[in-house]
Structure 1
Amino acid sequence: MRLFTYILLFTGLLLSGCSKFLDEDNRGGTNNDEFYQTQAGYTTVITAAYGSLRTVFGDTPWLQLAGTDTYQMNRGFDNRAMMEYTQLYADNADVLAFYSNCYSAIQTTNIAIYYNDVVEAEAEQKATWLAEMRFLRAFYHFQLLEQFGGIVINDEPTLGGPRMELPRASLQESYDFIISEMEGVVDQLGEDKTRVNKTAAMHYLAKVYLTRGWDLENNSDFEKAKQYASEAIDGYTISIPYEQLWDPNNEMNDEVILAVQYDIESIPSTGSGNNQQSLFGPYLGGAELNHKYMTSAFIPSWSFHNYYTENDARYEATFMLTIFDQYFDYYDATKDKATIPIRAYYPRVWGREFTKADSLAWAEDKGDQIASNFRYYPFKYSEQAYRAAYQIDMSTPVIKKFDSPKTRNVFDTKASVRDIVLARKAESYFLYAEACIGLNDFAMAGQYVDKVLARPGNAKNGMVLAPIQSISGARNQSEALDAYLIESAKEFIGEYIRWPELRRTGKLKEFCAKYNYDIKQVGVDNAFKGIDGADKIYRPIPQSAIDINETAIEQNPGF
């Protein structure tokens, strides 16, 4: 059954299913051409194209995050194949789901593009719709390219039945298509941040050129990446304090460029939002405790905690270091935080272990606030000691930056109605810096990262936060990338960019070998080495997609 989700059959079934739906629901016998000719009909497919963002990003983002330096294995060993690679094969269900969802989204955009000619609307509106759909089509192709390399390019709707022969384009051809589509529409896009917009196109063009620069070793691509990143930045200064940036009441703020939109009024039930708030940290217990429901898919690694310095206020802004009587009490402005019972506490004393004396002093200060079922888990500077309790509920702090207090009373892992931020100005700065590293201009790269680190409130002492390793003073490109990637990890933890970032810079295997505890246990060469002797640097093309395609498709190395 799952084979039918692959583009070769699914896209044909999607249209035939759509036609059937219209036949059944439209008693007047309206066909597709007539239905999409009306604005009411045509906007349904535009809405579906935007809705596909929720399909692709609304569930556990294994491909964007798993098997990197920043997360350790979850206690249930869920998707061990993605986390440590040893059991990653071409029949992996999560790889297939991502592959299929992207191609399904592409087919939806193809339908919108095809019927744009017939819809009865103002020319300017039609041009805007067309630009948005072409960008989204290129965007989804890029999502696939980041994971699989050269891809099957699908740029037309399947109207005459399933297409059984779809060749896989080369990496160069795949990039050429994506860039051509994005550059072809950038000037027709508007400024509305709730939709695909011109700034988003500039941002993603920077990322596409940057990725191509690394993949095809072309310096001119790094120059283009700088150009587009600069246009995406457009003079913007990083000015919103980190905790305020992620405040649940401050969504779509000035720094956000593009996000997958959610609203409690726009989902069929409070359990049909997204699961981003539930992914990053241990299980916090059952519904009776009134905490958020954690899936515990990704536990922030000990190594990641050590990327922070004592002076970095983003640590407290990223992690929930004190859990009150109910988890979401933290966001309740009507409650006095000095009187609410405390259920859990995650102390860290920088540069040394948290001692019994520290514990007694804290307990004396909090007094009656300490709940009867209180737990505390101090940070430990020995990785083995820190990991000793990670199978236990609440054992490490959870990431709070994606919390959804509006659904606090819904005990469901997909209760969140927070937007999923896909692009923001801080990343545009980082893309510019990375392109500078590609050009061996480490001084300029350091300056652009420093502009993000200079965010108000980042440094606890009121001064400017310094990177943990110098980018500007790097002796070579590898050192500069190491320093850059550590800073990127802290700024963008939990956002869906880490695996593609490590892959494109050629640092995936190296960072896993150095910072990923689970991969170190099996041996990095054992983890990455495929049955053909090659490393698993890309994801496998789903075997079912290869089997059903009548054109011979070469599997990625390692699989």
Structure 2
Amino acid sequence: MKKIFKPLVVVALMLTGCSDFLEEDNKGGISNDDFYKTETGYQTLVTASYNTLRTSYRNTPWLQLAGTDIYNLSRGFAERGLMEYEQLYPENGQVKTFYQNSYNAIQTINMALYYSDIAQLSDANRKILTAELKFLRAFYHFLLVEQFGGIIINNEATFAPRMDLPRASLADSYQFIISEMEAALPDLGTAKAKVNKRTANHYLAKVYLTRGWDLGSNADFEKAKTYATAAINGQNITIPFEQLWSPTNQNNEEVIFAVQYDAKSIASESDGNNQQGIFGPYLGGSELNHKYMNGNIFPSWNLHNFFKENDARYEATFMLTIYDQYFDYYDASKNKNTIPIRAHYPRVWGREYTAADSIAYRAAHAGQIASNFRFYPFRSDENRYRASFESDMFMPVVKKFDSPSTRAIFNTHASVRDIVLARVAETYFLYAEACIGLNDLPTAAQYVQKVLDRPGNSKNGTKLVPNVDIATAGSQIAALDAYHIETAKEFVGEYNRWPELRRTKRLKDLTGRYNFDIRRIGVNAAFLGIGGADKIYRPIPQDAINLNDAQITQNPGYQ
């Protein structure tokens, strides 16, 4: 009897060797070629290729977030090596998981591309599916380049162990990614829930932008602008921020690319993702009927401090009032003027929250103050603010990703919200960043302002403006620092911060300026690696080097 090959973990590439060749009993006796030749069989490969996104993003994508200016260590010191760099080594488990997941995803996609030639598909369907798969393969290679620099390019299906896989140069890695995405672009469709032309244009803008910084190419910044313009496609920023992130408004017109979730498409309601529970402290046990917070990452004091008094995104980003049950906030049937309030996170600008403010709040909400009610005011001094880091509920949690449809599930992976990976506001920022790369600061300021002009962003009707004027910043570095403050506020909790700071070469300086944990140990001590080199990339997993017969040079700082 023949065995049917399960392609999801075929890569003997470095981390798992031959043990990842899995076989399943094939009760029908059908071969891979026969099964994947059918349209139904081939669709399983396409679905598996898209499902790799769930594997990659289901758990906290530490490498996209950790060790930046706007997220601090939690009280449990989760992933301290990634958060502080000082103890970051090639044996780090999260780095290995990211590396392995990315290459396993690439191999799944390679299998789908291999069988596309024999699948019984219409020419039109074959063309569009091939384009989607090529983009996804390039997308994963790009994620790897962002983290590791030059990478191993894997562009063929693997049916036997491959143990001699050379690492490509950074230039060759970028060339492969760009050529794959540009080849895919003409054949992509416009379906919203799949890879489409807009997705490719957005990521081509990001790839060219990243290459522009890494290789010092003004021509790449110009190409980034061209592709960003195509992705924007004349669309203005029109959805109010709270509405943009409403649980009832998923996959809206601003979303370009997302990891798709739906309660009907997962095995159980606890098999979703954990994005809603990452950013903020534990809110207590299931008896309180609040959402489960794993308390892995704390938004920094400086992140809160970046927001100004008239910026409505602050209330739209953070849950500043917790009612009797956390998800009461989303129940239109409940009168917010009568239900109990458990916690309030007051914020006043220019002074400290006082006892008089507390008395006034209690008076204004008479009859709603629960017996276990607590105030957790924002402190203007960072040390005072951090004094409560060991306490539950001490700071407001991020609410942008809340999944009220699964409120009854007290589980780390209870969210069935889509994970947004790209949206139009980011495309505007990519254009602005390319302009900064070209030292066209006035145009960069204009594109950032287009995002700040989102309807409803200003609470008092005055124009919401950047903390620092990018147009008159005086230098490219000063403009980048002003730009990064604006992206910090717009993209709280979205999975893009570390790659953004790394590509502009502002990672070390901004974490040294704003990250409390790294300031505590000293920024030079945090980043200084073996041999005196700074840790500007993540380490290539040691297992990947050990299992590869090719000569692989470890990244600087880890050698």
**Any conservation in 2 of the 1:11–1:104 contact (CA below 8 Å)?**
no
Report the CA distance between 1:5 and its aligned residue: 7.4
Give the aligned residue type for 1:212: R
Give the aligned residue type for 1:7: L
Percent same amino acid at aligned positions?
61
Give the aligned residue type for 1:147: Q
Question: What's the counterpart of residue 382 of structure 1?
Answer: 381
Cα distance between partner residues in 1 of 2:155 and 2:139: 12
Question: What's the counterpart of residue 68 of structure 1?
Answer: 68
Question: What's the counterpart of residue 361 of structure 1?
Answer: 360
Cα distance between partner residues in 2 of 1:26 and 1:130: 30
Report the CA distance between 1:8 and its aligned residue: 4.0
Report the CA distance between 1:463 and its aligned residue: 3.0
**Any conservation in 2 of the 1:11–1:107 contact (CA below 8 Å)?**
no
What secondary structure, in the 3-state scheme, does the structure 2 residue paired with 1:518 have? helix
**Any conservation in 1 of the 2:166–2:550 contact (CA below 8 Å)?**
yes
Give the aligned residue type for 1:340: I
What secondary structure, in the 3-state scheme, does the structure 1 residue paired with 2:356 have? helix
Cα distance between partner residues in 2 of 1:214 and 1:469: 22
What secondary structure, in the 3-state scheme, does the structure 1 residue paired with 2:421 have? strand
Report the CA distance between 1:26 and its aligned residue: 3.5
Cα distance between partner residues in 1 of 2:404 and 2:194: 25
Report the CA distance between 1:13 and its aligned residue: 5.6
Report the CA distance between 1:464 and its aligned residue: 2.2
Question: What's the counterpart of residue 155 of structure 2?
Answer: 155
Moved more, 81-90 or 459-468: 459-468
**Any conservation in 2 of the 1:9–1:162 contact (CA below 8 Å)?**
no
Matches within 5 A, 1:75-90: 75-90=75-90
Q: Say yes or no: does 1:531 pair with 2:537.
A: no
Q: CA RMSD in A?
A: 1.2
Structure 2 residues not aligned, in runs of 5+: 1-8
Report the CA distance between 1:328 and its aligned residue: 0.2
Matches within 5 A, 1:29-108: 29-108=29-108
Cα distance between partner residues in 1 of 2:16 and 2:525: 36
Cα distance between partner residues in 1 of 2:539 and 2:149: 10
Residue of structure 2 aligned with 1:7, choices 13, 19, 33: 13
What secondary structure, in the 3-state scheme, does the structure 2 residue paired with 1:250 have? coil
Give the aligned residue type for 2:435: C
Question: What's the counterpart of residue 460 of structure 2?
Answer: 461
The superposition leaves residues 249-279 of structure 1 with CA deviations (integer Å, 9 ceiling, x where unpaired) of 0000000001000000000011110000000
Matches within 5 A, 1:201-280: 201-280=200-279
Q: Say yes or no: does 1:116 pair with 2:122.
A: no
**Any conservation in 2 of the 1:134–1:181 contact (CA below 8 Å)?**
yes
Report the CA distance between 1:79 and its aligned residue: 0.7
Question: What's the counterpart of residue 4 of structure 2?
Answer: none
What secondary structure, in the 3-state scheme, does the structure 2 residue paired with 1:367 have? coil
Cα distance between partner residues in 1 of 2:354 and 2:444: 40
Report the CA distance between 1:25 and its aligned residue: 3.0
Q: Say yes or no: does 1:25 pair with 2:26.
A: yes
Give the aligned residue type for 1:481: L
Question: What's the counterpart of residue 145 of structure 1?
Answer: 145
What secondary structure, in the 3-state scheme, does the structure 2 residue paired with 1:117 have? coil
Give the aligned residue type for 2:79: N
Give the aligned residue type for 1:330: Y
The superposition leaves residues 37-58 of structure 1 with CA deviations (integer Å, 9 ceiling, x where unpaired) of 0011111010000000001111
Question: What's the counterpart of residue 289 of structure 1?
Answer: 288
Question: What's the counterpart of residue 506 of structure 1?
Answer: 505
Report the CA distance between 1:461 and its aligned residue: 1.4
Cα distance between partner residues in 1 of 2:203 and 2:16: 27
**Any conservation in 2 of the 1:278–1:296 contact (CA below 8 Å)?**
yes
The superposition leaves residues 122-163 of structure 1 with CA deviations (integer Å, 9 ceiling, x where unpaired) of 00000111001000000000000000000000000112x100
Matches within 5 A, 1:174-189: 174-189=173-188
Question: What's the counterpart of residue 136 of structure 1?
Answer: 136
Report the CA distance between 1:7 and its aligned residue: 2.5
What secondary structure, in the 3-state scheme, does the structure 2 residue paired with 1:402 have? coil
**Any conservation in 1 of the 2:320–2:344 contact (CA below 8 Å)?**
yes
What secondary structure, in the 3-state scheme, does the structure 2 residue paired with 1:478 have? helix
Report the CA distance between 1:4 and its aligned residue: 9.4
Question: What's the counterpart of residue 171 of structure 1?
Answer: 170
What secondary structure, in the 3-state scheme, does the structure 2 residue paired with 1:25 have? coil
**Any conservation in 1 of the 2:15–2:544 contact (CA below 8 Å)?**
no
Cα distance between partner residues in 2 of 1:9 and 1:511: 33
TM-score for both structures, normalised by structure 1: 0.97
Give the aligned residue type for 1:186: L
TM-score for both structures, normalised by structure 2: 0.97
Cα distance between partner residues in 2 of 1:7 and 1:26: 30
Question: What's the counterpart of residue 548 of structure 1?
Answer: 547
The superposition leaves residues 506-558 of structure 1 with CA deviations (integer Å, 9 ceiling, x where unpaired) of 00000011000000000000000012210111000000000000001000001
Question: What's the counterpart of residue 435 of structure 2?
Answer: 436
Cα distance between partner residues in 2 of 1:177 and 1:71: 33
**Any conservation in 2 of the 1:318–1:400 contact (CA below 8 Å)?**
yes
Cα distance between partner residues in 2 of 1:450 and 1:497: 20
Report the CA distance between 1:313 and its aligned residue: 0.5
